[in-house]
């Protein structure tokens, strides 16, 4: 019996102790009408050898081409140490650290992680993670609505330069709480949030402004001006940031005169494999003033009975298992194992290493843009500073070009035509530090060939 | 010692970052950060040693029995991890075309089908990233169903007082009022309270079965009939599915929507608090509202269904497709168990719970619902020990750690005083259960001899009892150099 240790003798002894003749009797409180057996469509058990063969065969069908797609998930180098240690049984198979004394490993990791996120973002307090970037933004919106006592409008400005999937997820999660998510357009020339479109809201009751930096197009927003505008209008600022970019870019805590109020985003770039989209983790960091509005687990440092330092979950009265219907969120688990990986990643890279990774990504997108600059039918959509991603406009249908490129072993980018039809045939392309000069040359060749075929057709 | 306390300026793990600092000066200075963040400055070996040592300060399933009620802490087979981490699966970008993920999608599609069959639901979405997110999606589906019918007067969700805290918190996040109903003395839902709560304002009810008090809700069919009669829908919280896996199906009980905690019943790891996965199943009333994405099979090909394919969907819950790596682990586990292994999970989880309950009762501990069969878990109430010996459920919990057992769930459900909710799971051997009983008896003896001794437990762990009041009063949530 897979994973069940009982011998025949054990079973007899245990049934005797209970005082029943057979295991079936233990199910006698379930009404007879509800007893069922599994339909034949549920497959029969297999051995580890058999399932290993099957999964290797399936994995072999999924060999991946060189990846120039970003759009919220990034193909960075992951040190071997990260997952060797993260999958140690003591991390892998532990529960949420409710018994703090028996969970000091998990708890100290989370406290160190919180410290690192505070350092990267320049804000005061980090939680111990949320599910992913998009759902973290949804939680940040709910938190801003609770936290902005000066605003009663429940109105959050959600620029079109924020990741389209983040906007959709936020809608799904906050839809039933009568919160207005208002779109703000972007400038067609720069790809940045349109200040004129924002001015429309000057003097109105605005609860919060969301700013993604770098934005979904890879363009750098004028974060200082935007934060000052928001604060002048009584709105809180929610920053959506990329943790690798933060090694180079101004941290949200230093945006404008007084800094963003909440920062959140996708933690995947910090040592989490692409894995078709998950599991990743969301991070959330805020100013001290809002700590009691923050959702999710938070780890605090305290002392034990002998005065030695130790770590424990704290501020639990915010949470669902204590407050029930009055909790800040229904969130229960976080993404503890992913945070362990991210903490290891940040420890191995350090500030200098992260800066090198970020700079290498940036240099690589620059060389990619140079490499495609001479190709007829391709041009950058936006002028202005960017980080590790860029929008290219094509003279041929983006979908066909990307499909042809994939056929020659290059994932050429993310097709923007569905979310941003006004950009015409446009793709979002990304280069990380893993892309080599050869990859870049192959990209340019594949792009040129795909365009030539498409133009001929 | 914290990792930062090993910092030495200029020290790094040199093999890990690109060798040279590349040019980035075309990013104008006004966008750039002025000072480097506080991060570790340590060698690779220091990292390995520090975090290996930290891991050794954890209890885990791999190192100790972990009878944490309502959490299903069973063995997480290693093959599930190894196979989910095959390099091709890890390397795939979520926006890579579906044709570069046919092997993965085949696994996910089969998992959807298998979970639908096991639970008796019409279809399954693997989108929710945790049980609580499955709840949120499920209740949002109930709301979408009523709104599609113009039933805006349905503003209440009924929740038993013994329910997990996520249930009422979820109902509120979906814009509902929570109507709490009592649990009867026998542990089942109080039918009079239920009938009193039902009406035209009822949107639905959230139930866990077996319930959080560790017994099977015997009148579930009658409850389903009553709720449906007034136009409400039934939500099944799958936290306790391990008790009935392959023996009875929520769909047959009358539930309209369910979530499964794959990190419980399907043995994906808890990882120190996630990532989980909260697969969602829906019956015919709610099927069209399920969250996206969902894997579809078209001929021999698989592809993700998105908004365009499912216009009635409540929408997207994650940036991409949910916790794919967790789903792969659940798939491997489900295949290893197969049709034969699943009912055995329920049988041996139930055998272990009833055995442990019988042994503890024989040893003189008070069982909260002694007239009932245990499901996969049961409650011991230490009310008498608290009164006679002055020691609490928390004191027992802390001392159990010294004896090498993770503590059961304490003080939940709230309606039982000094509760220990105990769930041994099917993967624990008889001798470990016997060891638990022996530890409980010894702790009681210790309490009789010297109550103060127990108050100060644990003694043998990395730290002694922690001051949680101080943690919440003098908030210290990150380390600051030189403080």
Domain ranges of chain B: 3-55, 79-337, 345-469
- Alpha carbons A275 and A298: distance in angstroms, whole number: 27
- Alpha carbons B85 and B162: distance in angstroms, whole number: 38
Query: To which residue do tokens 């959050």 refer?
Result: A156
- Supply the pLDDT for residue B120: 97
- Supply the pLDDT for residue A454: 81
Q: Which of A41, A71, A335 sits opposite B113 (nearest CB)?
A: A41
Q: Other CB atoms closer than 10 Å to residue A41's CB: what's the count?
A: 11
A-B interface: how many C-beta pairs under 8 angstroms?
679
Q: How far is CA B257 from the centre of its chain?
A: 17
Average pLDDT over residues B231-240: 97
For residue A50, pLDDT beyond 70: yes
> What is the biggest distance separating any 2 CA atoms in chain A, rounded to whole angstroms?
84
Contacts of B100 in chain A (CB under 8 A): 62-65, 406, 411
Q: Determine if the pTM surpasses 0.90.
A: yes
B33:A249 CB<8 A: yes
Beta bridge mates, A386: A219
Residue ranges in A203-269 assigned as alpha helix (H): 223-232
Residue A291: band (very low, low, confident or very high) from pLDDT cuts 50, 70, 90: very high
A40:B475 CB<8 A: no
Domain with CATH 3.40.640.10 in chain A: 80-344
Residue A438, phi then psi, degrees to nearest 5: -65, -40
A152 class by beta-carbon count within 10 Å (0-12 exposed, 13-18 middle, 19+ buried): exposed
- Alpha carbons B100 and B88: distance in angstroms, whole number: 10
Beta bridge mates, A312: A300
> Is B25 an interface residue toward A (CB < 8 Å)?
no
Is B166:B174 a contact under the CB 8 Å cutoff?
Answer: no
Residue of A nearest to B86 (CA): A59
B71:A95 CB<8 A: yes
**Residues 6 or more apart in contact with residue A232 via CB below 8 angstroms:** none
- Supply the pLDDT for residue A320: 78
- Alpha carbons A224 and A250: distance in angstroms, whole number: 10
Q: What is the 3-state secondary structure (H, E, C) of B93-108?
A: CCCCCHHHHHHHHHHH
The two structure tokens encoding residue B164: 């997990």
Residue that wins the pLDDT comparison between A239 and B307: A239
Domain A80-344, second-level architecture: 3-Layer(aba) Sandwich (3.40)
Q: Give tens-digit pLDDT for B114-167.
A: 999 999 999 999 999 999 999 999 999 999 999 999 999 999 999 999 899 999
B132:A330 CB<8 A: yes
- Supply the pLDDT for residue B301: 97
The two structure tokens encoding residue A353: 């290493």
Average pLDDT over residues A34-61: 97
- Alpha carbons A436 and A448: distance in angstroms, whole number: 19
For residue A74, pLDDT beyond 90: yes
Query: To which residue do tokens 């020290």 refer?
Result: B11
Domain with CATH 3.90.1150.10 in chain A: 66-74+350-456
Q: Which of A38, A304, A306 sits opposite B342 (nearest CB)?
A: A38
- Alpha carbons A331 and B101: distance in angstroms, whole number: 30
The two structure tokens encoding residue A198: 């924002």
Interfacial B residues in 101-140 facing A (CB < 8 Å)? 101-104, 106-107, 113-114, 117-118, 120, 129-133, 135-136, 140
Q: Give tens-digit pLDDT for B115-125.
A: 999 999 999 99
Is B321:A276 a contact under the CB 8 Å cutoff?
Answer: yes
DSSP state of B458: -
- Supply the pLDDT for residue B317: 96
Contacts of B215 in chain A (CB under 8 A): 29
CA atoms within 13 A on the CB side of A272: 33
Q: At what angle do helices B324-362 and A48-60 cross, to 10 degrees?
A: 160
Please state, in angstroms and as integers, the Cα–Cα distance from residue B8 to each residue in A253, A405, B11, B46, B64, following that order.
26, 47, 6, 11, 37
DSSP state of A176: G
Torsion of CA A224, A228, A230, A232, to 10 degrees: 180
Whether residue A415 is preceded by a cis peptide bond, meaning omega within 30 degrees of 0, is no
- Supply the pLDDT for residue A451: 95
- Supply the pLDDT for residue A94: 97
Average pLDDT over residues A89-112: 97
A349:B31 CB<8 A: no
- Supply the pLDDT for residue B23: 82
- Alpha carbons B254 and B284: distance in angstroms, whole number: 11
**Do the two domains B79-337 and B345-469 of this chain adopt the same fold?**
no
Choose from B272, B312, B455 for mutation: most chain A CBs within 10 A: B272
Q: How far is CA B123 from the centre of its chain?
A: 21
Q: Give tens-digit pLDDT for A424-454.
A: 999 999 999 999 999 999 999 999 999 998 8
A101:B461 CB<8 A: yes
A220:B31 CB<8 A: yes
C-alpha distance from A205 to closest chain B C-alpha (Å): 23
The CATH number that domain B79-337 falls under is 3.40.640.10
Kindly state the percentage of chain B with pLDDT values over 70. Answer: 100
Strands B366-367 and B378-381: antiparallel
Average pLDDT over residues A46-66: 97
Is A55:A61 a contact under the CB 8 Å cutoff?
Answer: no
The two structure tokens encoding residue B407: 């503590």
Is A357:A76 a contact under the CB 8 Å cutoff?
Answer: yes
Map residue A313 onto helix, strand or coil. Answer: strand
- Supply the pLDDT for residue A305: 95
**What is the average pLDDT value for chain A, to the nearest integer?**
96
A173:B131 CB<8 A: no
Interfacial B residues in 290-329 facing A (CB < 8 Å)? 291, 307, 314-326
- Alpha carbons A186 and B144: distance in angstroms, whole number: 32
Average pLDDT over residues A266-273: 98
Query: Given its phi and psi angles, is residue A299 left (phi above 0), alpha (psi -120 to 50 degrees) or beta?
Result: beta
**Residues 6 or more apart in contact with residue B111 via CB below 8 angstroms:** B124, B126, B279, B327, B330, B331, B334
Average pLDDT over residues A68-97: 98
B13:A275 CB<8 A: no
Domain A66-74+350-456's class? alpha beta
Contacts of A34 in chain B (CB under 8 A): 220-221, 248-249, 252-253
- Supply the pLDDT for residue B482: 66
Residue B297, phi then psi, degrees to nearest 5: -105, 125
B274:A337 CB<8 A: yes
For residue B291, pLDDT beyond 90: yes
What is the CATH T-level fold of the domain B345-469, as seen in this structure? 3.90.1150
C-alpha distance from B388 to closest chain A C-alpha (Å): 25
Residue A415: band (very low, low, confident or very high) from pLDDT cuts 50, 70, 90: very high
Torsion of CA B18, B24, B25, B30, to 10 degrees: -110
For residue B481, pLDDT beyond 80: no
Residue ranges in B230-279 assigned as alpha helix (H): 250-253
Is A413:B97 a contact under the CB 8 Å cutoff?
Answer: no
- Supply the pLDDT for residue B49: 98
**What is the average pLDDT value for chain B, to the nearest integer?**
96
C-alpha distance from A420 to closest chain B C-alpha (Å): 16
C-alpha distance from B258 to closest chain A C-alpha (Å): 17
Choose from B79, B271, B331, B431 for mutation: most chain A CBs within 10 A: B271
Average pLDDT over residues A210-236: 98
- Supply the pLDDT for residue A330: 85
Residue of A nearest to B179 (CA): A325
- Supply the pLDDT for residue A321: 78
H or E stretch at A212: strand A208-213
For residue B205, pLDDT beyond 70: yes
DSSP state of B162: T
Contacts of A348 in chain B (CB under 8 A): 13, 16, 44, 47
Torsion of CA B402, B408, B412, B417, to 10 degrees: -60
Choose from B222, B248, B275 for mutation: most chain A CBs within 10 A: B275
- Range in A175-179, B189-193, B217-221 the model is least confident about: A175-179
Contacts of A39 in chain B (CB under 8 A): 117
H or E stretch at A210: strand A208-213
Q: Give tens-digit pLDDT for A356-371.
A: 999 999 999 999 999 9
3-state DSSP helix/strand/coil % of chain A, to nearest 5: 45, 15, 40
For residue B218, pLDDT beyond 80: yes
């Amino acid at each position: 019996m897979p994973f069940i240790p009982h011998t025949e003798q054990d079973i007899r002894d245990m049934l005797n102790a209970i005082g029943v003749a057979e295991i079936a009797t233990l199910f006698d409180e379930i009404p007879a009408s509800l007893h069922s057996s599994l339909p034949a469509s549920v497959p029969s058990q297999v051995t580890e050898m058999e399932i290993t063969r099957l999964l290797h065969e399936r994995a072999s069908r999924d060999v991946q081409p060189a990846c120039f797609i970003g759009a919220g998930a990034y193909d960075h180098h992951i040190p071997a140490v990260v997952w060797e240690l993260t999958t140690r049984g003591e991390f892998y198979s532990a529960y949420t650290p409710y018994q703090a004394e028996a969970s000091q490993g998990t708890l100290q990791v989370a406290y160190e992680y919180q410290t690192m996120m505070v350092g990267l973002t320049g804000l005061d307090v980090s939680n111990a993670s949320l599910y992913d970037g998009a759902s973290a933004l949804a939680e940040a919106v709910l938190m801003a609505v609770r936290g902005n006592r000066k605003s009663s409008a429940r109105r959050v400005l959600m620029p079109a330069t924020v990741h389209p999937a983040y906007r959709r997820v936020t809608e799904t999660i906050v839809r039933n709480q009568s919160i207005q998510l208002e779109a703000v357009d972007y400038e067609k020339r720069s790809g940045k949030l349109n200040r004129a479109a924002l001015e429309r809201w000057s003097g109105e009751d605005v609860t919060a402004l969301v700013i993604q930096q770098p934005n979904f197009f890879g363009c750098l927003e004028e974060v200082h001006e935007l934060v000052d505008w928001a604060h002048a209008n009584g709105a809180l600022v929610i920053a959506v940031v990329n943790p690798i970019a933060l090694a180079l870019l101004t941290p949200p805590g230093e945006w404008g005169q007084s800094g963003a109020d909440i920062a959140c985003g996708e933690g995947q770039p910090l040592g989490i494999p692409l894995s078709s989209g998950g599991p990743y983790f969301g991070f959330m960091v805020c100013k001290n003033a809002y700590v009691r509005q923050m959702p999710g687990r938070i780890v605090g440092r305290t002392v034990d009975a002998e005065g030695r330092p130790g770590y424990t979950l704290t501020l639990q009265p915010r949470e669902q298992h204590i407050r029930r219907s009055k909790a800040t969120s229904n969130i229960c688990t976080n993404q503890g194992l992913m945070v362990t990986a991210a903490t290891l990643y940040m420890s191995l890279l350090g500030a200098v290493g992260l800066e090198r990774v970020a700079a290498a990504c940036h240099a690589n997108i620059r060389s990619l843009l140079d490499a495609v600059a001479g190709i007829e039918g391709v041009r950058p959509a936006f002028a202005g500073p960017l980080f590790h991603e860029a929008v290219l406009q094509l003279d041929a249908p983006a979908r066909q070009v990307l499909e042809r490129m994939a056929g020659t072993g290059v994932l050429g980018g993310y097709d923007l035509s569905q979310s941003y039809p006004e950009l015409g045939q446009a793709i979002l392309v990304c280069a990380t530090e893993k892309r080599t000069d050869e990859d870049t040359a192959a990209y340019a060749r594949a792009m040129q060939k795909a365009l030539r075929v498409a133009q001929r057709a | 010692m914290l990792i930062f306390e090993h910092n030495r300026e200029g020290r790094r793990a040199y093999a890990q970052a690109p060798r040279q600092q590349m040019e980035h000066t075309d990013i104008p200075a006004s966008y750039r950060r002025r000072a480097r963040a506080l991060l570790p400055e340590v060698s690779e070996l220091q990292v390995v040693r520090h975090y290996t040592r930290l891991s050794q300060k954890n209890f885990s399933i791999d190192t100790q029995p972990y009878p944490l009620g309502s959490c299903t802490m069973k063995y997480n087979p290693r093959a599930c991890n190894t196979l989910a981490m095959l390099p091709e699966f890890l390397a795939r970008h979520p926006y890579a075309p579906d044709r570069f993920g046919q092997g993965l999608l085949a696994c996910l599609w089969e998992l959807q089908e298998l979970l639908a069959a096991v639970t008796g639901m019409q279809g399954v979405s693997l989108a929710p990233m945790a049980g609580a997110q499955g709840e949120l999606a499920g209740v949002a589906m109930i709301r979408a169903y009523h709104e599609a019918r113009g039933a805006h007067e349905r503003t209440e969700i009924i929740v038993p007082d013994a329910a997990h805290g996520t249930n009422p918190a979820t109902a509120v996040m979906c814009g509902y009022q929570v109507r709490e109903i009592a649990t009867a003395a026998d542990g089942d839902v109080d039918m009079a309270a239920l009938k009193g709560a039902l009406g035209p304002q009822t949107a639905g009810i959230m139930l866990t079965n077996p319930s959080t008090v560790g017994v099977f809700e015997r009148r579930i069919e009658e409850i389903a009939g009553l709720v449906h009669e007034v136009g409400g829908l039934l939500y099944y919280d799958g936290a306790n599915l391990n008790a009935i896996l392959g023996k009875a199906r929520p769909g047959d009980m009358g539930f309209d929507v369910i979530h499964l905690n794959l990190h419980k019943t399907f043995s994906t790891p808890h990882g120190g608090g996630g990532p989980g996965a909260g697969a969602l199943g829906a019956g015919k009333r709610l099927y069209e509202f399920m969250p996206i994405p969902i894997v579809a099979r078209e001929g021999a090909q698989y592809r993700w269904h998105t908004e365009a394919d499912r216009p009635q969907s409540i929408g997207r819950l994650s940036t991409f497709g949910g916790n794919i790596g967790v789903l792969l682990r659940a798939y491997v586990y489900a295949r290893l168990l197969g049709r034969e292994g699943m009912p055995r999970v329920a049988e041996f989880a139930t055998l272990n719970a009833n055995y442990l309950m019988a042994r503890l009762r024989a040893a003189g501990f008070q069982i909260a619902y002694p007239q009932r069969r245990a499901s996969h878990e049961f409650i011991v109430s230490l009310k008498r020990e608290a009164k006679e010996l002055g020691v609490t459920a928390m004191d027992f919990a802390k001392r159990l750690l010294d004896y090498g057992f993770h503590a059961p769930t304490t003080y939940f459900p709230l309606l039982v005083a000094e509760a220990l909710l105990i769930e041994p799971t099917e993967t624990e051997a008889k001798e470990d259960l016997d060891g638990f009983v022996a530890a409980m008896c010894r702790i009681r003896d210790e309490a009789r001899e010297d109550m103060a001794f127990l108050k100060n437990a644990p003694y043998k762990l990395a730290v002694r009892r922690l001051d949680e009041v101080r943690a919440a009063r003098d908030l210290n949530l990150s380390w600051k150099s030189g403080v």
